[in-house]
Structure 1
Amino acid sequence: MKIGSLDVWPPVVLAPMAGITNRAYRTLCREQGGGLFVCEMITSRALVERNPLTYEMIRFGPTESPRSIQLYGVDPVVMGRAAKIIVDEDLADHIDLNFGCPVPKVTRRGGGAAVPYKRRLLRSIIREVVAGAGPLPVTVKMRKGIDDDHLTYLDAGLIAAEEGVQAVALHARTAIQHYGGFADWDAIARLRDAVPGDVPVLGNGDIWTADDALRMVAQTGCDGVVIGRGCLGRPWLFRDLENAFNGSSERAEPRLGEVVTMLLRHAELLVEVMGDEKHGVSDFRKHVGWYLKAFSVGAETRRLTAQAASLDELRERLSGLDLDQPWPGEAADGPRGKSGERQKVLLPHGWLDDPDDFAVPEVEDALSGG
């Protein structure tokens, strides 16, 4: 798959996930297979204002190539300035734009999944970023729309292609769905039909195994896939994906001992990246349930392991497990991470009144993440 000047094989992208796709996890996933591995979402304003936390979040390891940053913002001028900073300071090799985040702190300011409803604003943001990015490829990740009454993905995909975006990714859910229900893969097929053939379309949503990825490509005609929650606690999914796209039927089915080895390496990498064992292990705790999903380890062991305060404590609480347990199969392959639909999408007052309104909404937080 060609994305501007980048040759991407296998055609797989690690979706930016707040609190997940930091340097430690990207390293772990890269060790398993190829693709594009995108850092956590950052705000354009934070980058322009040189927020120290933001610069730490976009620090890449020496072996990370290509380096991918996802930007979020609502002000075209600020977004363009952020893109130019990325180029001038050689901070990344690829810029992805977030038009899909459904969380309230983003959408209530008109950002993320809310932006594509304002077609002129969307076009202006993309135009400014493409101009600021110069030689760097710019891609877009979006959702179907705000809800079923306010679908935006076809118009947004065409606008992105017209403004020089090098690839478009669609999470085939609306913002109000959040991560609930099922992804509408037919929408990915419709987007692939609508967008010019020389602009890759990537599909996202309900890819839990490498075979799901192959099914999505076959069913929709999309050019590649974006992996989000499916890889939580399963970095070896990227090995499976590389095998699958290379025509191999080999799939990872690790025993519990192999999973525990990977789990501990993840925790060690987080400690190394954060430079502090207490904070690294604390940050790792949310991953424990994902790694141990469907294995017979007992509720008390899960609870105590997720409360570990040091690497030694983590190792000790895992030491009594039956490490010869085989991979649990479908029970471990299935959905993971947060799910559930929302009752409403928080939006700025009057946001849905006029899709052609060009007013820039309230400026986003200077803090990164989403």
Structure 2
Amino acid sequence: MTETLAPTPVLPPLQIGCHTIESPVVLAPMAGITNRAFRRLCRRYGAAGSAAGGASGATSLYVSEMITSRALVERTPLTMRLIEHDADEQPRSIQLYSVDPATTARAVHILASENRCDHIDLNFGCPVPKVTRRGGGAALPWKTELFRGIVSAAVREAAPYDIPVTVKMRKGIDDDHLTFLEAGRIAEGEGAAAVALHARTAAQAYSGTAKWEAIAQLKQTVTSIPVLGNGDIWSAEDAVRMVRETGCDGVVVGRGCLGRPWLFTDLAAAFAGRPTRVQPTLREVTDTLRLHTVYLAEFFEDERKACRDIRKHIAWYLKGFRVGSHLRASLGLVDSLTALDDLIGTLELDQPWPGDAAEGQRGRAGSERHVVLPEGWLDSQALDDRLRAEVAQAELSVSGG
């Protein structure tokens, strides 16, 4: 009798503070995307690909869309909705954007003392001009003591509740002003539980190619906590290749899962050493699209709002399938589940997975650009009083949570 050998995992489970994440995969926070509805969908697929299985989907780490510390302290209604989690969502993970240590401390205290999350991720990677022009997001780590103060404040307030704090960042502002190695050392020294690097600069935004060699450099520099890699993971094979090329401890997946929540099945299987890959028919894709819409209706408590929100996902879901431009346009105007069902019913639903036509890059890309910064921002890595006052306004520029 031939003995069947168990598959060999690519990586051990990911340890984030007190949390053991079976599959070393993190859903990247994406504004307007990673709300409770989308996370639920991704968790279902992640559980399906896990060797352990299970309905909770607690096999990977699924992070909320970003909220601002100031909006949380002010308890704005949108922010309070964005920090909600499903009852079975574990660990409950929230990404926090902040530009001020004192406000960071107050926001983290709310999250921790009111038992609203189990993990906090700090955003230092946003490249959006309205954020960087005030010194926030990917521009902030250039001011090393401000960066240190924010990380330290978050860790200090979270520690009594055993809530790990992680840091997500970019390589730097541009190739002449790289910050990731020093920021990684600071985060490690201040007690962060892990650091994640999107291997692009703010100047690159989402254009060009992620420089994975920077992830390898960070892994060699930060040695006592996990280092996670992010950028250009469009398939499970990409994720495994990133790990092998960089030595990182896990991966962060963003645009690759847009319209493809089943990527988390592929990722969980690949890291467990199994060949399972999901290649859905158009019927299965539209079933997922509809379920996503139902989850959004529950999240928004409004079917019309859910249908408006799902419109941006439709092109991602249908990528590569034979769907006429007129029908795609009609799907982009749906305002009810009934209308969605009617349009889905007109599709050739037995189309098989289109292969390469459905793979590869999705979501925004754009081109490299000049990073808009406060006047004099690059003159020094210290923060003077004038710039301190300007940075204080950065959160006012960030919409939503």
Task: Please give the range of the TM-score, normalised by the shorter of the 2 chains.
Answer: over 0.9
1:121/1:358 contact within 8 Å kept:
no
Structure 1 position 356, deviation (Å)? 2.2
Residue 148 of structure 1: aligned partner: 175
Are 1:29 and 2:42 matched, yes or no? yes
Cα distance in 1 for residues equivalent to 2:118 and 2:400: 20
Change (3 A) 1:280 1:181: same
Residue 38 of structure 1: aligned partner: 63
Query: Quick one: which of 9, 19, 31 aligns to 1:18?
Result: 31
Cα distance in 2 for residues equivalent to 1:39 and 1:209: 22
Once the two structures are superposed, what CA deviation does each residue of 1:142-175 show, in whole Å capped at 9, x if it has no partner? 0000111111100000100000000000000000
Q: Which amino acid aligns with 1:5?
A: C
What percentage of residue pairs aligned between the two structures are identical?
58
Residue 353 of structure 1: aligned partner: 379
Query: Quick one: which of 274, 277, 300 aligns to 1:248?
Result: 274
Structure 1 stretches of 4+ with a deviation exceeding 3 A read 366-370
Cα distance in 2 for residues equivalent to 1:366 and 1:335: 29
Residue 55 of structure 2: aligned partner: none
Structure 1 position 320, deviation (Å)? 1.4
Are 1:162 and 2:162 matched, yes or no? no
Change (3 A) 1:54 1:367: farther
Residue 222 of structure 2: aligned partner: 195
Residue 177 of structure 1: aligned partner: 204
Question: Which stretch of the first structure deviates more once superposed, 271-280 or 335-344?
Answer: 335-344
Residue 231 of structure 2: aligned partner: 205
* TM-score, structure 1 normalization: 0.98
* Aligned counterparts, 1:229-248, within 5 A: 229-248=255-274
2:120/2:166 contact within 8 Å kept:
yes
1:9/1:35 contact within 8 Å kept:
yes
Cα distance in 2 for residues equivalent to 1:56 and 1:346: 31
Q: Tell me the number of residue pairs that the alignment of Structure 1 and Structure 2 aligns.
A: 369
Structure 1 position 369, deviation (Å)? 3.9
Structure 1 position 366, deviation (Å)? 8.0
Cα distance in 2 for residues equivalent to 1:358 and 1:169: 28
Structure 1 position 253, deviation (Å)? 0.5
Query: Quick one: which of 81, 98, 102 aligns to 2:106?
Result: 81
Structure 1 position 343, deviation (Å)? 2.3
Residue 360 of structure 2: aligned partner: 334
Residue 72 of structure 2: aligned partner: 47
2:72/2:80 contact within 8 Å kept:
yes
> Unpaired runs of 5+ in structure 2?
1-13, 47-58
Cα distance in 1 for residues equivalent to 2:140 and 2:398: 19
Are 1:4 and 2:29 matched, yes or no? no
1:254/1:326 contact within 8 Å kept:
yes
Q: CA RMSD in A?
A: 1.2
SS at match of 1:31: helix
Residue 309 of structure 2: aligned partner: 283
Cα distance in 2 for residues equivalent to 1:343 and 1:246: 39
2:130/2:398 contact within 8 Å kept:
no
SS at match of 1:168: strand
Change (3 A) 1:151 1:329: same
Structure 1 position 362, deviation (Å)? 2.7
Cα distance in 1 for residues equivalent to 2:250 and 2:184: 16
Change (3 A) 1:367 1:203: closer
Q: Which amino acid aligns with 2:142?
A: Y
Cα distance in 1 for residues equivalent to 2:382 and 2:354: 51
> Unpaired runs of 5+ in structure 1?
none
Question: Which stretch of the first structure deviates more once superposed, 339-348 or 324-333?
Answer: 339-348
Are 1:365 and 2:357 matched, yes or no? no
Residue 70 of structure 1: aligned partner: 95
